[in-house]
Structure 1
Amino acid sequence: MKKIGLIPKLIAAIIIGILLGAFAPTFVVQVLATFNHIFGNFLGFAIPLIILGFVVSGIADLGAGAGKMLGITTVIAYASTLIAGLFAYIVSYNFFPAFITKTSELTNAVNPEEKLLASLFKLEMPPLMPVMTALILAFLLGLGIASLKGKSEVLYTASVEFQKIMEKTISNVIVPLLPFHIMGIFANMTHAGEVGRVLSVFWKVFLIVIAMHLIIIFFQFLVACTIGKKNLFQCLKNQIPGYLTAIGTQSSAATIPVNLQCAEKNGVSKGIREFVVPLCATIHLSGSTITLTACAIAVMMLNNIPFTLPQMMGFIAMLGVTMVAAPGVPGGAVMAALGILQTMLGFTEAQLALMIALYITQDSFGTACNVSGDNAIAIIVDAIQGKNKAETKEAAVE
């Protein structure tokens, strides 16, 4: 089983869940619903800890390398994430109603959550703190540790070690159990008669999201090559190995060596590429933002949940922060985003499970979009630094 990738496991879980929901006795579906209840509560308990584990050390690491280049790279990466999220909102808002409304027929529908079978018993696991409290505490600790870096290593070391604990929790507990969680959700939805309209939407969302990834990559390189005065199509061609590697590994970190070679072919100077590419692998997540924004809108439309542009822009802005240093495992970004999906968009346990399933099936393409954008940022930073050095030399001559 360990040799089978997460995506094949999830696909198998969806198929088995549908078959169980259609043919298994009600008691079997209720047993799965009980597992979902326990796992969902554990996930709710873990979400604030995941936020603390990754946001604190992520912000602390950003502050540790203070400098002009860090500031420039961070601003460009965050701006790219916001633009990608806004683009995803505009496309989703205009295209999704064409097929979600027609297939789901939600005009007079009741809440699909009410049709699902309840668990056999309740096991509450209240989180240590609300998600918003965890976010504020993470910002406070991260910025404080960054300011103390070099003076006191105790808190920084503790934040890094806590991050490793949460990484192991995700990779050894949450991710292995995800297929069973998804299987239970789909078994319950099939039993309730809800799965047909969900699956009819999945594949269309998937195609639109991939198209958005490719468009934003083209836009990022168009801007970068205009600023850096490079050949757009040559740079896009040079990026293909990095893009394909990311699809295969589903990891920005694992793609760094290949992405550095792509940056070298694009003519990015050694110092810039060795700083920007690894940094952006952590802080630049335009592809993940597109996927999460589009999937969130799809889930809300499926469940007849209203949303506004200011609400979604707030969600996108928070994504750019909460996904910093997201776990280096498939689906890490969506795990880090579960908290704000709950607090800002009001997602329930079943809706979070749908988000996980939707996101992870497209995770490799989102990662490929992320790392491609990293090299576009490297070209921009290299051009800015080159211009600054030229101006400094001119001033020295004068």
Structure 2
Amino acid sequence: MNESKKQSVWGSYKFPIILMSAIIIGSLLGIILGNKAQVLKPFGDIFLNAMFTIVVPLVFITISSAVASIASLQRLGKILSTLLVVFILTGMIASLIMIITVNIFPPAQGVKIELPQAEELKPLNTADQIVAAITVTDFPDLISRKNMLPLIIFSIFFGLAISMLGEKARLVVDGLNILSEAMIKMVSIIMYYAPIGLGAYFASLVGSFGPQLLGSYARAMVIYYPITIIYFFVGFAVYAYFAGGKKGVKTFFKEIISPAVTSLATQSSIATLPVNLEAAKRIGIPKDIREIVLPIGATAHMDGSCLSAILKISFLFGLFGIPFTGIGTYISAAIIAVLSGVVMSGVPGGGLIGEMLIVSMYGFPPEAFPIIATIGYLVDPPATMVNSTGDTVAAMIITRILEGKDWMDRNLG
């Protein structure tokens, strides 16, 4: 029994354990070798280049495939529109909570390392800048990782166009789904090299800048973990109370234990989906709502990732000596946090794609990516728990909006 449990824990956490071990070994090598560790940097660059190369086709194919498949369900436009509002609103609330927190406790305070300078950050404060942020002038510009937001918008419209063609586009939808699986498989293949790549990169990073960088991660964790726990118990209690009053809160926390434990063990919203659907059924969420909201939510509703995205953004701002202040900065950070959650799309390795989005859209140099990727791995278990259980409480809110405040009494008797 104990042996089986050990194997289960190892099976669930094998990759994060290997990856963190590689990063620790790399960091120790950096401390021991000092500047000589720079010889290992090319091994890290190979991993970075591979991930940055795949991000554009991955985002285009996974988003267009998801949109084409969802729209082909021809289901309740009302559910989808309400879902969109609730997902964005809860993501923005999570982002706002973390924006307030990192202003009180800056995660990169006191960390000084010399990295290539970030491009000048310009807030979206004119019509021309907004147009430039969401569109490009020519198709070749669309397939650059520097134009992720226009690519996301193009992918959504492409998926919608395919879905509007109806049954005659079924082959295209199936083809996109296969391509989407192929791209995710490519990411998983690249991830086999991640322990070597990130280990080598951290050896060169720590060799150049010393152990002070490692200490800053502890500060980031001390900020993130308590906020996640508070958001889970307090934030979700408020959402559940709005959805179903005291009965909603009691029922939600009674039924959410199994999905919460599953998500912590698997670190995957997709793997937690079957358990989540069963919990939603016991909560009394109608079949059509739970079967639309939860699958979409597993890939596009990421409150935990919004919390961590703001942490990562503010961490990089502090690292590069850029003030994380101003309404424009906060709004752009919140939008990018919500988008980075959506773009994650259940890809193996947690938020690597979302982290590339942060680095690309803010114009940070590629060296910034492994730094926040490490934060991503450190926060992944609680972030996934908030992501997946947040889908269930969002489904409760959507049911409350569409069916009235007494929906639980009607459905549960």
Question: Normalising TM by the smaller chain, what interval?
Answer: 0.7 to 0.9
Instruction: Verify: 1:333 aligned to 2:341, yes or no.
Output: no
SS in 2 for 1:348: coil
| Closer/same/farther in 2, CA of residues 41 and 294 from structure 1, 3 Å limit | same
Q: Deviations over 1:36-61 (max 9, x none)?
A: 22222222221212211222222323
- 2:299–2:345 contact (8 Å) kept in structure 1: no
Identify the residue that residue 292 of structure 1 maps to in structure 2.
Answer: 309
For residues 258 and 16 of structure 1, the distance between their equivalents in structure 2, rounded to whole angstroms, comes to 36
What SS does the aligned partner of 1:160 have?
A: helix
Mean Cα deviation higher: 345-354 or 313-322: 313-322
State the partner residue of 2:222. 207
Asked whether the 8 Å contact 1:330–1:360 carries over to 2, the reply is: no
CA distance in 2, matches of 1:315, 1:61: 29
Which amino acid in structure 2 is aligned with residue 168 of structure 1? K
Kindly state the Cα deviation for residue 205 of structure 1 after the two structures are TM-superposed.
Answer: 1.3
Change (3 A) 1:62 1:89: farther
Q: 1:362 to 1:172 in 2, by over 3 A?
A: same
Q: Alpha carbons of 1:63 and 1:94: their partners in 2 closer, same or farther (altered >3 Å)?
A: farther
Shift of 1:213: 2.0
| Matching residue of 1:227 | 243
Contact 1:186–1:195 under 8 Å retained in 2: no
> Do the aligned residues in 2 keep the contact of 1:17 with 1:183 (CA within 8 Å)?
yes
Which residue is equivalent to 1:396? none
| Residue of structure 2 in register with 1:84 after alignment | 94
Structure 1 residue identity aligned to 2:59: I
Letter in 1 for 2:298: A
In 2: Cα distance, 1:144 partner to 1:336 partner: 25
Letter in 1 for 2:115: P
2:50 alignment partner AA: F
Match of 2:134 in 1: none
Does structure 1 residue 181 correspond to structure 2 residue 189?
no
Cα displacement string for residues 304-346 of structure 1 (whole angstroms, at most 9, x for unaligned residues): 13344423422432443454363434434332441x3233222
Paired with 2:55 and 2:210, the residues of 1 have a C-alpha distance of 27
Q: Partner of 1:343 in structure 2?
A: 360
Q: Which moved more, 1:156-165 or 1:267-276?
A: 267-276
State the TM-score, normalizing by the size of structure 1. 0.83
Helix, strand or coil at the partner of 1:96: coil
Which of 56, 70, 83 pairs up with 2:64?
A: 56
2:50 paired residue among 18, 42, 56: 42
Mapped partners of 1:52, 1:139: distance in 2: 9
How far did residue 276 of structure 1 move? Answer: 2.4
Cα distance change on mapping 1:185 and 1:128 into 2, 3 Å:
farther
Q: Does 1:10 align with 2:15?
A: no
Partner of residue 391 from structure 2, selected from 374, 394, 397: 374
Match of 2:338 among 320, 323, 326: 320
Q: Which residue of 1 aligns with 2:188?
A: 171
- Structure-2 change in CA distance of 1:112 and 1:188 (3 Å): same
Larger mean CA deviation between 303-312 and 340-349 belongs to 303-312
SS at match of 1:155: helix
Asked if structure 1 preserves the Cα contact closer than 8 Å seen for 2:30 and 2:203, the reply is: yes
Tell me how far 1:368 sits from its aligned partner.
0.4
- CA shift, 1:379, in A, is 1.4
- Is the Cα contact below 8 Å between 1:53 and 1:163 reproduced in 2? yes
Alpha-carbon spacing, 1:58–1:215, altered in 2? closer, same or farther (3 Å): farther
Partner deviation per Cα, 1:200-240 (whole Å, 9 max, x = no partner): 12122123212222233332331332332243244223212
Change beyond 3 A, Cα 1:343–1:26:
closer
- Take 2:354 and 2:343, find their aligned partners in 1: how far apart are those partners? 9
Give the letter for the 2:30 counterpart: G
For residues 360-393 of structure 1, the C-alpha deviation after alignment (integer angstroms, 9 at most, x for no partner) is 2211211100111111112112223322999xxx
Q: What SS class does the counterpart of residue 105 from structure 2 fall into?
A: helix
The whole-number CA distance in structure 2 between the counterparts of 1:280 and 1:155 is 24
Q: CA deviation at 1:26?
A: 5.6
Determine the C-alpha separation between the residues in 2 that align with 1:348 and 1:312: 21
- Residue 206 of structure 2: aligned partner: 190
Is 2:371 the partner of 1:354? yes
- The answer as to whether partners of 2:309 and 2:340 remain within 8 angstroms in 1 is no
Q: Say if 2:244 and 2:405, in contact at 8 Å, map to a contact too.
A: no
CA distance in 2, matches of 1:215, 1:241: 19
Deviation at 1:249, TM superposition (A): 0.5
Give structure 1 stretches of 5+ with no counterpart: 115-125, 391-398
Q: CA deviation at 1:171?
A: 0.7
Q: Which residue of 1 aligns with 2:31?
A: 22
Query: For this pair of structures, how many residues does the alignment match?
Result: 367
Give, in whole Å, the separation in 2 of the partners of 1:19 and 1:184: 11
Which amino acid is the alignment partner of residue 210 of structure 1? Y
Seq. identity, %? 26
Q: Does the 8 Å CA contact 1:21/1:188 hold for their aligned counterparts?
A: yes
**Structure 2: runs of 5+ lacking an equivalent:** 1-9, 118-139, 408-413
The whole-number CA distance in structure 1 between the counterparts of 2:194 and 2:318 is: 24
Give 1:44's aligned amino acid.
F
User: Which digits, 9 at most, give the CA deviation of each residue in 1:17-52, with x for residues without a partner?
Assistant: 12222334866x344211122222222221212211
Measured in 2, the distance between the counterparts of 1:198 and 1:166 equals 33
TM-score norm. by structure 2 comes to: 0.80
Letter in 1 for 2:223: I
